[in-house]
C-alpha cells in the first residue's frame, strides 16, 4: 500500500505567497508609495515611476479571468495537462497563475484564489502552490 505523498509548498521568492490563520492563501504584492501602482510579484523599483519606495501590499483574493490555455507538455513532475492563464485583480494587478476547474473557466468570468497540487517531486512530495479556480470565493 502506497503512503500518501508528503506536501512541499512552492512559494514565490520574497514572501509573495503565504497562508492566513484560517489556512487560506494570501498573495502579497507591492505598492509604490510614490504613485500607488500595485504589482505582483513585488519589485524593488516601480515600473510606472521608477521610485524605489515600494511596500508590501496584500492582494485581493478574487479576480476576473483575462485569458487562459491548456498545456499538454511540461516538466515530468508537473500534472498534465496544466491550465494556466492571466487573472485581472480589482486593484489593477494582472498576474499569471495556474488555474483549476478548467471545465468551468470562461474568459471574463470570476475566479478566486486557492491552493492546489501542481505536481509531485522526484521524492514523492506533493508540490502545492497558489492558483485561481473558477467561480466566486466560497464563504
At 102, is the secondary structure helix, strand, or coil? helix
What's the whole-number average pLDDT of the chain? 88
Q: 107: Cβ–Cβ under 8 A, 6 or more apart, which residues?
A: 65, 66, 67, 68
pLDDT computed for residue 14 by the predictor: 61
Largest CA distance in the chain: 58
pLDDT in tens, 81-138: 999 999 999 999 999 999 998 899 999 999 999 988 899 988 888 888 899 999 877 6
Average pLDDT over residues 54-64: 95
pLDDT at residue 39 is higher than 90? yes
Q: For residue 12, is the peptide bond before it cis, meaning its omega torsion is within 30 degrees of 0?
A: no
pLDDT > 70? residue 13: no
Highest-pLDDT range among 39-43, 65-69, 101-105 = 65-69
Name the pTM for this structure. Answer: 0.85
Amino acid at each position: 500500500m502506497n503512503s500518501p505523498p508528503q506536501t512541499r509548498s512552492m512559494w514565490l521568492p520574497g514572501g509573495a505567497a503565504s497562508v492566513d490563520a484560517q489556512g487560506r492563501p494570501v498573495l502579497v504584492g507591492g505598492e509604490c508609495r510614490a504613485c500607488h501602482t500595485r504589482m505582483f510579484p513585488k519589485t524593488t523599483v516601480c515600473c510606472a515611476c521608477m521610485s524605489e519606495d515600494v511596500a508590501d501590499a496584500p492582494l485581493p483574493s478574487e479576480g476576473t479571468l483575462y485569458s487562459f490555455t491548456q498545456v499538454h507538455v511540461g516538466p515530468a513532475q508537473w500534472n498534465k495537462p496544466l491550465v494556466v492563464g492571466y487573472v485581472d485583480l480589482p486593484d489593477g494587478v494582472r498576474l499569471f497563475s495556474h488555474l483549476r476547474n478548467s471545465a468551468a473557466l470562461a474568459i471574463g468570468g470570476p475566479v478566486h484564489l486557492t491552493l492546489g497540487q501542481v505536481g509531485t517531486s522526484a521524492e514523492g512530495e506533493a508540490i502545492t502552490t497558489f492558483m485561481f479556480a473558477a467561480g466566486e470565493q466560497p464563504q
